[in-house]
Structure 1
């Protein structure tokens, strides 16, 4: 009698164990099925889009920066003040990477970099003369600067670069107000901070001379 009860009990226990295993398996299977139906996450997208003002900012700031580089490259062979030479080197080091950054944006946005257009000069760019790019030097200004030497060159260069920087700051402030791309606005703020500080430095050098 005891053997019969024991056998019966073992059968019940076995049935319960099998039932438990079976019920624990199914949820995991159903979970696997449901997880396989969840769409894969989309690839990461740029943090923000862009608008026409972002494009205009990059298209105009590239030639603006390029002229600053042209001016900076004149200093080592013409300037007399080591502080001016040092400042010119810092301007060149800072603005050249920014030009490459903005060219990359324009390429990503499917827009043309005006500085890469054949036969296009600073003064001949449609809609991008000195009125729309404040602080730009004319060709005559640049020729005059190229002909100067020594202390005369340093003074002329500082005066022109102050004006040039003021124009860049104005353009950058417009981007902060009207632009929508986060990276472009961050660069605009960086330009404002750096060039305002350099304007103060250049005015100090002018006051000493």
Structure 2
């Protein structure tokens, strides 16, 4: 009996040690999961998107540039006599209005000022003393466009929108060469693709008017 008891005691001690080790391992594993979960939460938190001055300049310039395109598109109703011009004006509205919202959101995230409603109106001033918005219409050009009707309006609209779009292409290609923000690059590529196609369409409209 004494031999059995001496054998049993070490066995019980080993079992207790194993049980304690198992509990300790469980605590360690739980802590590990907790740390991992915390790290996962941290990595899932939205990181501030990298951007540079070229991205900011593009957003601040393209917002008033797009606003003017929408202003021109709004003139089509009641003045245009061409179905294709009317369709294209609606296409411009559908593309550029959401882009203004996106560009405005980015500037907010970057803690950069959003251009006011009248910045660049009737010209290319970017609101900071520069003239970075290539292709912007002057106040006189907009006044003449508002006064035109029928085929004269359609031709003037097409010619001015080509110039306007070419300015947007210049801005988009510039940020593609110098910008850093991935979202800006995607939007600039869409501008190049979409407005290049619209320029080609506008030229065919002018050719048949």
TM-score by length of 1: 0.85
- Retained in 1: the 8 A contact 2:134–2:168? yes
Q: Is the 8 A contact 2:134 2:171 kept in 1?
A: yes
* Corresponding position of 2:92: 91
Given the superposition, is the C-alpha separation of residues 33 and 81 from structure 1 closer, same or farther in structure 2, using an over 3 Å criterion?
A: closer
Distance 1:100 1:160 in 2: 24
Query: Are 1:24 and 2:26 an aligned pair?
Result: no
> 1:62 aligns to what?
63
Higher Cα radius of gyration: 1
Per the alignment, residue 45 of structure 1 pairs with: 47
Residue equivalent to 2:110: 109
Give 1:79's aligned residue.
Answer: 80
SS at match of 1:193: helix
| CA apart distance, 1:52 | 1.4
Kindly state the Cα deviation for residue 9 of structure 1 after the two structures are TM-superposed. 5.0
- Taking a change above 3 Å as real, the CA distance of residues 128 and 85 of structure 1, as seen in their structure-2 partners, is farther
User: Counterparts of 1:33 and 1:155 in 2: how far apart (Å)?
Assistant: 72
Q: Is the 8 A contact 1:60 1:128 kept in 2?
A: no
Name the counterpart of 1:146. 146
Q: Distance in 1 between matches of 2:62 and 2:15?
A: 75
CA distance in 2, matches of 1:87, 1:120: 23
CA distance in 1: counterparts of 2:35 and 2:142, whole angstroms: 65
- 1:115 is paired with a residue whose SS is coil
The answer to whether the Cα contact below 8 Å between 1:63 and 1:122 also exists between their aligned partners in 2 is no
Separation in 1, partners of 2:202, 2:67: 19
Distance 1:99 1:55 in 2: 13
Mark the runs of 5 or more structure 2 residues left unpaired by the alignment: none
Q: Partners in 2 of 1:91 and 1:61 — Cα distance?
A: 14
The root-mean-square deviation of aligned C-alpha atoms, in Å, is 2.5
* Pairing 1:205–2:181 present: no
**2:173 counterpart of 1:173:** yes
Unaligned 5+ segments in structure 1 are: none
